[in-house]
Amino acid sequence: MADEEQEQITVRKEKLERIRRLGVEPYPTTCQCTHSLKELREKFAELVKAEREVSVAGRVSTVRSHGKTCFLDLVGGEGRIQVYLRQDNLSDREWELHGLLDIGDIIGVSGTPMVTKTGEETILAKTLIFLTKALRPPPVVKETTDESGKKTLHDAFSDKEARYRQRYLDLMVNPDVRRLFRTRTRIIEEMRSFLDLRGYLEVETPVLQPIYGGASARPFTTYHHALDMNLYLRIADELYLKRLIIGGFNKVYELSKDFRNEGIDRLHYPEFTQLELYEAYSDYNGMMEIFEQLLVHIADTVFATKDFEFDGERFTIQPPFERLSIPEALSGKLGLDVMEASAKDLFSACKRHKLEVEGGWEWEEYFNELVEGLLEPNIKQPTFLVDFPQRLSPLAKPRADDPRLVERFEPFIMGVELGNAFTELNDPVLQRANFTAQESLRAKGDEEAQAMDEDFIVALEYGMPPTGGMGIGVDRLVMVLTDNPQIRETILFPQLRPK
């Protein structure tokens, strides 16, 4: 809200002037701390015993003032500590400064660690300095604990719009949100170390691409002045990573953002983080193993458990994950052979199961509806959906025993699609034919159909070894592992329309 200045801001500005009149700089350049708040708590007992003086800094989160004494809480990093100010322990000037303190200010305190008679670990302050005067009050969130130890938040800063628009406030006052984003970073770190340890090379490929490929989606378009041409923000990294496989890097991965110009909902976000990895002389079975091991690694290192909860239901990361053949599962459910069925058959099957479809669609569109409507929502435990129709998979290699299917899988947990992987198509002639088929879909108005990429075909003609490849939606994996049903909760600064 643009500011007719609020009373609380005016008052704080006046305090700022009074601080300066005391000869104190409210925004000093340096601060010497002996411990972070987190370290302080970890070593508290020994510091009390040693009667060591410590210096710490943090943001004032609450103040409990009692005349000639004052308790306040400092927070920051992943720590919190109570500070005990006594008039008789401080200089007159410092005591006067304490009266100019507000919630949200950042201060430094030196003093001795002690435990109060209520058992609270506390710094008895000997000096007090301002590090930053806050001119706006943060949201005030308080917490009570009942006899059973159950915590209740009062006036939680919970409005999603406010939390996303001012994520710094969300992080400042909601420790769970800070924890979530630390966990997100830990997951990504462990993805890297898992792959690095297995000899994968992390690479960077173009975000700006002249031809967008590797997935079916509408791109963001931009313009390069010097080259006088349109470029697209990548929708996938796939075709460039495969060029690296052709070049002789046998194991590569890229961990970065892809962009798809589509709607936002609980599972979709236009700029999302994807891990893509490719391994020469592997295949989709190899990718399944890597997926399983990667999840086990993350579960062990980040969460130290294999049991997780999502949206009130439990799942366990315990390989081997179930392999569920889509045609078999669908055929069983519908009582007909879906691979032999006509578009019309699938249409009536959709109708029978009350899926919202219209007549005149392509076979694969009905097929998709059935997979999404009947199969995916029922997957709770980690599961690989396998045996996708070739017509839906222009970059995957057909199965030798049934070329109507490709060697492809999608991992699911709790109904959430976490990725997509296949044995990569390395037959340049077939690849060209698939692109051509996609082009004709595009000509019919399918905006998401893939574009012919002649340069990629040329690369394939030089010979790509048999290769397994996989993409993993990192935001979604974070969602599932942290029990967050909304993808935007896992993204630091979600896009909103300007107010």
Return the residues of window 68-107 that contact RNA according to CB under 7 A. Answer: 68-69, 71, 73, 82, 84, 86-88, 102-103
Which residue shows structure tokens 């949206």?
A: 311
Is the separation of the CB atoms in 243 and 464 below 8 Å?
Answer: no
Residues 434-463 close enough to bind RNA by CB under 7 A: 448
Residues 349-408 close enough to bind RNA by CB under 7 A: 356, 364, 368-369, 371-372, 392-393
Provide the token pair at 3. Answer: 């500011």
Shortest Å distance, C-beta 201 to RNA? 26
Shortest Å distance, C-beta 490 to RNA? 13
Nearer to RNA among residue 84 and residue 200 (C-beta):
84
Burial class (CB in 10 A: 0-12, 13-18, 19+), 127: middle
**HSE on the CB side for 367, CA within 13 Å?**
22
Q: Which of 156, 208, 429, 458 binds RNA (CB under 7 A)?
A: 156
Shortest Å distance, C-beta 373 to RNA? 8
> H or E element: which one contains 82?
strand 79-86
Residues 163-192 close enough to bind RNA by CB under 7 A: 164
Write the Ramachandran bin of 51: left for phi over 0, alpha for psi from -120 to 50, otherwise beta: left
Residues 104-133 close enough to bind RNA by CB under 7 A: 114, 116-120, 122
Nearer to RNA among residue 35 and residue 408 (C-beta):
408
Is the separation of the CB atoms in 279 and 201 below 8 Å?
Answer: no
Specify the 3-state DSSP secondary structure of 483: coil
- Where b means 16+ CB within 10 Å and e means fewer, 43-64 reads ebeebeeeeeebbbbbbbbebe
Nearer to RNA among residue 249 and residue 361 (C-beta):
361
Q: Which stretch binds RNA (CB under 7 A): 37-45, 63-71, 288-296, 378-386?
A: 63-71
One-character DSSP codes across 289-316: HHHHHHHHHHIIIIIS-SEEEETTEEEE
Q: Which of 5, 49, 51, 66 binds RNA (CB under 7 A)?
A: 66
Nearer to RNA among residue 240 and residue 259 (C-beta):
259
Nearer to RNA among residue 243 and residue 476 (C-beta):
476
Q: Which of 55, 59, 129, 157 binds RNA (CB under 7 A)?
A: 157
Using CB under 7 A as the binding criterion, the count of chain residues that bind RNA stands at: 74
Is the separation of the CB atoms in 267 and 476 below 8 Å?
Answer: yes
Is the separation of the CB atoms in 279 and 315 below 8 Å?
Answer: no
- Does residue 150 belong to the site contacting RNA (CB under 7 A)? no
Is the separation of the CB atoms in 113 and 121 below 8 Å?
Answer: yes
Q: Which stretch binds RNA (CB under 7 A): 24-32, 59-67, 324-332, 341-349?
A: 59-67
Residues 198-217 close enough to bind RNA by CB under 7 A: 215-217
Q: Which of 134, 141, 343, 452 binds RNA (CB under 7 A)?
A: 141
Residues 234-273 close enough to bind RNA by CB under 7 A: 260, 262-263, 265-268
